[in-house]
Structure 1
Amino acid sequence: MTAPIIFVTGTDTDVGKTFTSALLVSKWQCDYWKPAQTGLESDTGDTKTVHDFCSSGRHMPHLFPPRYALQKPLCPLEAMDFEPHHDIQLSDFQLPEERINTPLVIEGAGGIYVPITRGLHVTTDLIKHFITSTSRPVRIIVVARSGLGTLNHTLLTMEHLKNAGLLSHTLGCIVNGQKNPGNVAILERYGVSILAQVDHCSTKEDITLALGQIPELADLSL
């Protein structure tokens, strides 16, 4: 059986998708791919971040290069305005055909409704493109911040996934940031599956604790 593809999206930007992706890559011994990277004029990029996170750990993933690497820290659609020679199409994103027996974490750009193409395709459309182009199971993990505002953002994200017909492909949500049991309890009352609560990490000990919060891949219903 081929290994699963885990698509990591967020309820917003800067909610901890890359850090969470690095945790998943390390815990589940996955490879990593960021299909569309923006913001390279001010940042080294998420692939480098995952590399650096894993470099001192137990697993060094194969890092597939982004299909598109854009300079401005904007959504891919708007970033293309500054590099008009790029014209992103969903068909440009072809899943790697090698290493199909190794789980693959794919990190999206921003949240679930981030505009990607000039045809106004969004992250949801990219996920559907991947689902229809592979026999591998594709599953979605939503990263949400723990604090104020997360209820609205997370419930809207889950509602959108439901309306897009993707709820059956969604494993659940990882909540990132200072623990907030009240918010988690309310999300669960609305039927959101909370896979893990990951606190802020500043030391190796913190990261070890965070990794311990991530469930085993074999324990999830893929």
Structure 2
Amino acid sequence: MTGQPIIFITGTGTDVGKTFVAKLLVYGWKCNYWKPIQTGIESDCGDTFTMINYPIGKWVTEAFQPTYQLIKPLSPLEAMEYEQESVDIKLEDFKVPHGSEQLPLIIEGAGGVCVPITKKLELTTDLITHLATSTQRPFYVVVVADSGLGTLNHTLLTWDYLERNIPKKNLLGCILNGKKNGRNRKILEQFGVTIVAEIPVCKNDEMSLDVTNNLPSLESVTNIHRS
């Protein structure tokens, strides 16, 4: 594997802060950004718009347009049913964007690891495998999880599913989002979950910028993983 790494961001569920954490990584690690499937555009400008128009600090990211943008805020499989024109998402439709090679690339998935995205009932993990095997760049998966009560079950289930469905070399670790919880971190680590970082609650842009400046470097995280 050669070239700048690709980091696929997924989550343990809804509202765990996946997009927010992806944004912190984009600006903290100075990455390009791509969300292959965007749903819910009837009521939301979309994560790509947010990533470009609400930066953290002075650095400017390049955000590549989604391959699919769907109206309803549903899983891609369900959202396809509400499009005015027939839509049939296929894994082969997705290619790592040309022009993203010069910097690391953050890819943000739609929902969690078992969200259905095609009419063949292929899941997010199938998209991960497709993208990982279609590029020569190092490819990693990061799970975003809430740091608080209930995260143990959700995170361990997600981690176990990923370990059974993608190569271990691609599974980088987990980022805990929210108020620091040393007990939850310790238990997750006892079960073999790698904690990449803990993201505190950020109430304003100044706090977000401080977090990006204090993230572990992408190089250090991937080096530890390779070792």
Instruction: Report the secondary structure of 1:142's partner residue.
Output: strand
- In 1, distance between residues paired with 2:214 and 2:150? 23
1:49-68 mapped onto 2 (5 Å cutoff): 49-54=50-55, 57-68=57-68
- In 2, distance between residues paired with 1:170 and 1:58? 31
Letter in 1 for 2:54: F
Per the TM alignment, residue 213 of structure 1 is displaced from its structure 2 partner at its CA by 4.3
CA contact (8 A) 1:158 1:167 kept: no
Per the TM alignment, residue 82 of structure 1 is displaced from its structure 2 partner at its CA by 0.7
Match of 1:106 in 2: 107
Match of 2:36 in 1: 35
Match of 1:140 in 2: 141
Aligned pair count reads 221
Per the TM alignment, residue 167 of structure 1 is displaced from its structure 2 partner at its CA by 2.6
Match of 1:7 in 2: 8
CA contact (8 A) 2:116 2:124 kept: yes
Instruction: Report the secondary structure of 1:121's partner residue.
Output: coil
- In 1, distance between residues paired with 2:49 and 2:168? 31
For residues 185 and 53 of structure 1, do their structure 2 counterparts lie closer, same or farther at Cα, with a shift above 3 Å needed?
farther
Instruction: Report the secondary structure of 2:54's partner residue.
Output: helix
Gaps of 5+ in 1: none
Match of 2:79 in 1: 79
Letter in 2 for 1:178: K
Instruction: Report the secondary structure of 1:126's partner residue.
Output: helix
Instruction: Report the secondary structure of 1:172's partner residue.
Output: strand
TM-score between both structures, scaled by the size of structure 1: 0.95
Per the TM alignment, residue 209 of structure 1 is displaced from its structure 2 partner at its CA by 3.2
Gaps of 5+ in 2: none
CA contact (8 A) 1:35 1:66 kept: yes
- In 2, distance between residues paired with 1:66 and 1:99? 14
Match of 1:209 in 2: 210
CA contact (8 A) 2:57 2:209 kept: no
Instruction: Report the secondary structure of 2:130's partner residue.
Output: helix
Report % sequence identity: 51
